[in-house]
Structure 1
């Protein structure tokens, strides 16, 4: 397997979105005297993610950045939780919760080791400013910011993976997609990329993430540092 670049899913694979979004929900709503199950709110917000992107993928909506979709979804979830009274400034700040997510502990050390030997970039549905903020917060050593905003479409559309490989002037087979989600890896493989699965068994709650891939992959690892052990001398 000759690989020259690694591209990464971010939400769930590199960062713990659920715990961090719940933390932000509490920080924003409790000062307003609003009590809410913050983890349930985070889950409900995330549940709106794929349907919102499907509207773009299907052509029903023109491409727009994930921040804009997240804001629409936030308004929906606030209404569903009976929180319509939340003011505009709070909504704007809370919507940026996705820019303030924390990485899993193995991620930064693993990325720094991998970067000695490979080009690295996110291949996320998150927009560029979001990816930059997460990189600066968590010391992600990217060589480029790739993904949905570059491709003007959302994963798992093939164009997103192919645009990332092309940005590095590489063939799909020279590009390794790294993710904790079998569906993401399956789509990347169908586009001709190599694939590596990272186990995140607690992504959706304790024991509620993927421990093993459900599709064929080239590599399987329990962490980014484990992946680095497999790919570097």
Structure 2
């Protein structure tokens, strides 16, 4: 697997970088909202649910709470949002079903072809805060050809905690610079760089919708800065 960069494996942030979580959650929530809150915009609902994501993980990162998988946090966050919106009396089975929205997300248009190209020369795997079953379900639905499932549940910690990156390097038997994190989020890349990983920024300027204000551009001189994953594949010599 030798190449001019020395990189042997690529690990990917998934939510926002590989898959379009916002459109997928909104799509999955539409029927639920039609029944229980017909005036509510499904994209606003998706955004409200996502806003609980980082605070919930911070409870684990800070040590205030033991590690629990993201499916658990997502469900707790969903209940919080429903209560805040005054959507009450929902059967538990309907809440469970809506929580699976995160398992049924679509890839960005460039993602699948690029991953298949990159897989020819590199080990590829998710490095997501999503739990293993969540990553497997997304991959099977979206045809993401991972070589392994890595990330938060494997190391029982959430990004950007340092051990997520350092333990992943150790799991793959690599030197830090031989592992490249691919992400649409500068903070994720900065945490990986501090541990010596190679870094690739991919622009996803509509991850949070048309009025996104964060991560619109690379904020450091990452090893690769690309407009999409096909461009990254080309820069790494995976043209077909």
Instruction: Specify the SS of the correspondent of 1:188.
Output: helix
Asked whether the equivalents of residues 150 and 163 of structure 1 are also in contact (C-alpha less than 8 Å), the reply is no
Runs (4+) of structure 1 moved beyond 2 Å?
A: 31-35
Q: Please state how far the C-alpha of 1:30 moved relative to its aligned partner.
A: 1.3
Instruction: Specify the SS of the correspondent of 1:121.
Output: strand
1:213 to 2:210 alignment: no
**What is aligned with 1:128?**
132
**What is aligned with 2:96?**
92
Q: Map 1:140-219 onto structure 2 (within 5 A).
A: 140-208=144-212, 210-219=215-224
Q: Please state how far the C-alpha of 1:27 moved relative to its aligned partner.
A: 1.9
Deviates more, 1:163-172 or 1:206-215: 206-215
For structure 1, the residue ranges without an aligned partner over 5 or more in a row are none
Cα distance in 2 for residues equivalent to 1:184 and 1:68: 22
The number of equivalent residue pairs is 233
1:35 to 2:32 alignment: no
| TM-score, with length taken from structure 2 | 0.94
Asked whether the equivalents of residues 153 and 159 of structure 1 are also in contact (C-alpha less than 8 Å), the reply is yes
Cα distance in 1 for residues equivalent to 2:229 and 2:179: 17
**What is aligned with 2:234?**
229
**What is aligned with 2:143?**
139
Asked whether the equivalents of residues 56 and 62 of structure 1 are also in contact (C-alpha less than 8 Å), the reply is yes
Aligned-residue CA RMSD (Å):
1.2
Q: Please state how far the C-alpha of 1:25 moved relative to its aligned partner.
A: 1.1
| TM-score, with length taken from structure 1 | 0.97
Asked whether the equivalents of residues 36 and 87 of structure 2 are also in contact (C-alpha less than 8 Å), the reply is no
Q: Please state how far the C-alpha of 1:88 moved relative to its aligned partner.
A: 1.0
Cα distance in 1 for residues equivalent to 2:230 and 2:216: 16
CA deviation map 1:112-171 (0-9, x unaligned): 000000000000000000000111011111110000001110000011111222221111
Cα distance in 1 for residues equivalent to 2:12 and 2:105: 16
For structure 2, the residue ranges without an aligned partner over 5 or more in a row are none
Cα distance in 1 for residues equivalent to 2:215 and 2:206: 8
Asked whether the equivalents of residues 33 and 42 of structure 2 are also in contact (C-alpha less than 8 Å), the reply is no
Instruction: Specify the SS of the correspondent of 1:140.
Output: coil
Q: Please state how far the C-alpha of 1:191 moved relative to its aligned partner.
A: 1.1
Q: Map 1:5-24 onto structure 2 (within 5 A).
A: 5-24=9-28
